[in-house]
Structure 1
């Protein structure tokens, strides 16, 4: 499918545009959405501009990360998607998206130059934090209880509170 065909589907389509294909995803669970909201709140409390479930178009793809931290207010000329490079992208794992979030998106987000990537696994009760180094992500933290994620600023994360 072309980008124009994808855009013609409208905003109600629950999917991402990856490698010229529509990747349809199921609706997130209650737990998934609660975790994403709590992570967004945590990032906003640290003074960051965080947004949930908004489209990001790095190059030929369009993804819908669970949470993004933006470097500044988005361009009002592009109200449906973010066209720049976010400071941080967070994905919350679901059984249906483990491979995409841990392999494909990790690779593509690094190629797009996103400096930080977090993956939160509710079933694993773990947050993995990655920093972009030399064109690929290097793990900088693995939090299974409470801990600090390095970055600017450093963020205190409590896994149990995210899952409460």
Structure 2
């Protein structure tokens, strides 16, 4: 059983927090929230999207990078761990020798839904990512076999849900040619 400290942490304390357990935490209003280890399906889906995004970045010669399981600061004492994010090289350079928690909004964030993250991914992270100006947020839901793409317009997300063989429409990667069935097939062995 893991015991999470009762004391509130500041964002700065969170950046250096290590209880030696190897577990990952998000910081929500100064309180640590334990993140359950992902499933293999989750890892495979993220790996597929990561590889797909990297291919597009290289094909278009963009000065962007992808990262898995990095943090994004979403408030004074809040930080969320992303399954996958796309950032500029400049954003990454700023954190080269610091904790991998982005203070500025990534270009794109992807979260893969698990049974214990439904509310967090669809509701909490949606409002927090919009508040800090993340232009594009994908909620990849293998439970419902749908991908919700949220595009930030005038401070609020406009959402489009993609299923089956519909081509996913992305602002970040406008020439991307993948469909949800490909993403979810990647999660199978």
Normalising by the residue count of structure 2, what TM-score does the alignment of the two structures yield?
0.79
Counterpart of 2:182 in structure 1 is 161
1:9 pairs with 7, 11, 17, which one?
17
Q: In the alignment, is residue 93 of structure 1 matched against residue 128 of structure 2?
A: no
Counterpart of 1:110 in structure 2 is 130
Work out whether residues 168 and 180 of structure 2, in 8 Å CA contact, stay in contact via their aligned partners in 1: no
**Structure with bigger gyration radius:** 2
1:79 to partner: Cα distance: 4.2
Q: 1:77 to 1:163 in 2, by over 3 A?
A: same
Normalising by the residue count of structure 1, what TM-score does the alignment of the two structures yield?
0.90
Distance 1:161 1:2 in 2: 41
Number of residues of Structure 1 aligned to a counterpart in Structure 2: 163
Work out whether residues 71 and 82 of structure 2, in 8 Å CA contact, stay in contact via their aligned partners in 1: yes
1:7 to partner: Cα distance: 4.1
What are the within-5 Å matches in structure 2 for residues 32-47 of structure 1? 32-47=42-57
Deviations 1:21-77 (A, max 9, x none): 111121000001111111111111111522111122233211111010102241124
Q: In the alignment, is residue 23 of structure 1 matched against residue 33 of structure 2?
A: yes
Distance 1:128 1:157 in 2: 14
